[in-house]
Structure 1
Amino acid sequence: MNRSLGATLIAVAVALSAAPASAQTVVRVANWLPPQHPLFAQIIVPWTEQVEAATEGRVDMQILDAPLGPPPAHFDFAVNGVADVTFGVHNYSPGRFTATKLGEMAFLCEKSAYLSPAWWRIHQQYFADLNEHRGTKLLGIWTHGPGQLWTRNRDVTSLDAIKGAKIRIGGGFAQDVSQALELTPIQAPVTKAYEILSGGVADGIQFPAESVTAFKVDEVLTQGLIVPGGLYTASMFLVMNQAKWDSLSAEDQAAIESVSGEALAKLAGKVWDEADDKAFEKIEAAGKITLVTPDDAEMTAIKAALKPYEEKVLADITAKGVNGQEAYDALVAEIAKVKAGD
């Protein structure tokens, strides 16, 4: 073999061996959370690793090093292709999502591990055709654990006692809860929670247990109203830019779906519950926060106060063309199925 032909064959072999690497599809994943936060570290990061494994390396998930902007902007980042994949909280985009408020309602479930898979199933069954996530491919929906009311030097043993309390609130159904309980809402970024509580700007905050310790407000809180099933939850999403999704092969789309959807909801539920359990253990060990469970009379009063707001959520969903009461009843039934191991 002459030398030039041998060199040519070697060059071709090298090029062919490099072909799989060059055929990789890079998917840019945005993040707005601290790297140690459970939502990012234990849900999003493992999911990206599962995608790479499921696609046998054909899809390269690249998590961006710095936040692209504030959390509420992340759904639009996916729609507009600023990032390929984003995650966030539905109620960060008021007015955009109506149906997702169903998964945020009070008293639904004591564990995200039950609610999250049930919520994914019901969303796909009842609400997928509403196309509220248009411009993206919806890859996952789940919720955090039960949201509760926490205060600093403010009694939570009765509705009369907490009436008028200045509370830092979230969006979605959490806002409805604040109106129903006649609280005075304080709008502030969650990152300012410690500052506004320690400085007396707010009397309390709405949080799942995990966030109480994650944002270190357990150091300044004195009471927690722990309502069975929670006063609210927050519905969350994971989406991919639609054009990016359409550019993937059918094989890779199927591989990604195999680790998304209900599988992702189950992972998220497990992570949130473990984080909540650890938070409660820390809170109880420290002994600084008195945990109050409403008695029967107070539960009756709380439910009565929230009922008109729950009815409005269902009416708003019905106005979108889906029977709200039917969807709610189906969600409750689906939660029971998940609890039973179905």
Structure 2
Amino acid sequence: MSLKKVLAIGLFMGIAGQALAETTLRVGSWLPPTHPQNTVVWPTWSKWVEEATDGRVKVVVEYGLGHPKTMFELVEDGVVDAAFSFHGYVPGRFKLTQAVEQPMLGASAEAASVAHWRIHQKYFAQANEHDGLELIGLFTHGPGQVHMAKPVEKFSDLKGKKIRLGGGVQAELGHRMGVTAVGAPAPKVYEMMQQGVIDGVFIPMVDQKSLRLKEVAKNVIALPGGMYLGSFAIFMNPDFLADLDQKDRDAILSVSGEKLSAMAGKAWDDGDKAGIEAAKDAGVNITFVKEGDALAHEFSALTQGMDAAFIKSVESRGVDTKAALTELRQIAVTYNK
């Protein structure tokens, strides 16, 4: 055999061996491809994973896999290897995660996400609410605000209105306001408002742009710090991780955890800024509430007793929720100060 052929075969075998060594990590995403979760969070983490594993693990995002609440099961069953979802879509399973959603936190999503991760690791992990999953990140969206088709002047005007609620603390706020709650995944909100199925939605400002709410929700009440934050998990299939070489498993986890949580929170913060600008450009009427305004006082009165109610609701989890809630708020408000 000629030297040229030997070299060619060697090159081919090297390329084939490299291809065989590469592992595809399939991520399921339920938000539109234009959403910051898909334009910033997944691409950034994908780059981190590929760099940390020297290219041995490649990340691919897949869309159109169904309702976001099914993401937990799809990862548990190995249909996809990783995903993210909103804890509020699965009421009953996730309770402790509502600690970060409680009103009046007054912190950015990035700060809240870091606090969320640290408090989970210190206090909540022992309750094993994410059983069957490898939790690799926790984050929140930005402040949840009121987005309506028609203007409202005060929170009491929401009584009887059909409002899409995503679960979690939103549900409790809606109950206190006397709204008619309508359940649906976030990507369905535009269609529901366009058709008049709902009068409004509680959701962060990012979705004025990413879900095109600027076209159908022309009236927004924006509280300082918002009404609540929304808790999300980023998770992987434990078997997928176990099947990797130890060095690649460690590499993926090294670019996850608090690092991934902070990055995701910041991406959603930046998405809120873009959403506000898009809403202004579209002529959306945004009422920016200031501390001390009547609306701020009205909302504060609505939330009285929510901390105590939350702590009582998770007594069966067997953790010091009161201490966790206090520490979470300390971390969030002092982050980067």
Answer yes or no: same fold by TM over 0.5.
yes
SS of the equivalent of 2:307 reads helix
Provide the alpha-carbon RMSD of the alignment.
2.4
- Is residue 134–residue 235 contact of structure 2 (8 Å, CA) maintained in 1? yes
For residues 297 and 32 of structure 1, what CA distance do their matches in structure 2 show? 38
Q: After TM superposition, where is structure 1 displaced by more than 6 Å over at least 4 residues in a row?
A: 4-10
AA matched with 2:279:
I
For residues 293 and 56 of structure 1, what CA distance do their matches in structure 2 show? 49
Identity of aligned residues (%): 35
Q: 1:73 aligns with which of 70, 74, 83?
A: 70
For residues 17 and 219 of structure 1, what CA distance do their matches in structure 2 show? 51
Q: Which residue of 2 aligns with 1:174?
A: 170
Q: Tell me the matched-pair count.
A: 336
Deviation at 1:10, TM superposition (A): 7.0
- Is residue 103–residue 233 contact of structure 1 (8 Å, CA) maintained in 2? yes
Deviates more, 1:279-288 or 1:125-134: 279-288
For residues 58 and 191 of structure 1, what CA distance do their matches in structure 2 show? 34
Q: Which residue of 1 aligns with 2:121?
A: 124
Deviates more, 1:218-227 or 1:229-238: 218-227
Q: Which residue of 1 aligns with 2:49?
A: 51
Deviations 1:60-107 (A, max 9, x none): 22333x433321111111111111112111111221111111122212
Aligned ranges for residues 285-296 of structure 1 at < 5 Å?
285-293=281-289, 295-296=292-293
Q: Which residue of 1 aligns with 2:249?
A: 253
TM-score (norm 1): 0.89
Aligned ranges for residues 247-326 of structure 1 at < 5 Å?
247-293=243-289, 295-326=292-323
Q: Which runs of 5+ in 1 are unaligned?
A: none
AA matched with 1:251:
K
- Is residue 117–residue 261 contact of structure 2 (8 Å, CA) maintained in 1? yes
| Cα distance change on mapping 1:63 and 1:306 into 2, 3 Å | same
SS of the equivalent of 1:339 reads coil
Is 2:242 aligned against 1:242? no
Q: 1:61 aligns with which of 56, 59, 62?
A: 59
For residues 14 and 285 of structure 1, what CA distance do their matches in structure 2 show? 55
Q: 2:35 aligns with which of 34, 37, 45?
A: 37
Deviates more, 1:144-153 or 1:5-14: 5-14
For residues 290 and 230 of structure 1, what CA distance do their matches in structure 2 show? 13
Deviation at 1:4, TM superposition (A): 9.0
Deviation at 1:242, TM superposition (A): 0.8
| Cα distance change on mapping 1:131 and 1:106 into 2, 3 Å | same
For residues 69 and 339 of structure 1, what CA distance do their matches in structure 2 show? 38
Deviations 1:128-163 (A, max 9, x none): 12221111211111011000112222423x333332
- Is residue 111–residue 273 contact of structure 1 (8 Å, CA) maintained in 2? yes
AA matched with 1:159:
F
TM-score (norm 2): 0.91
For residues 46 and 204 of structure 1, what CA distance do their matches in structure 2 show? 33
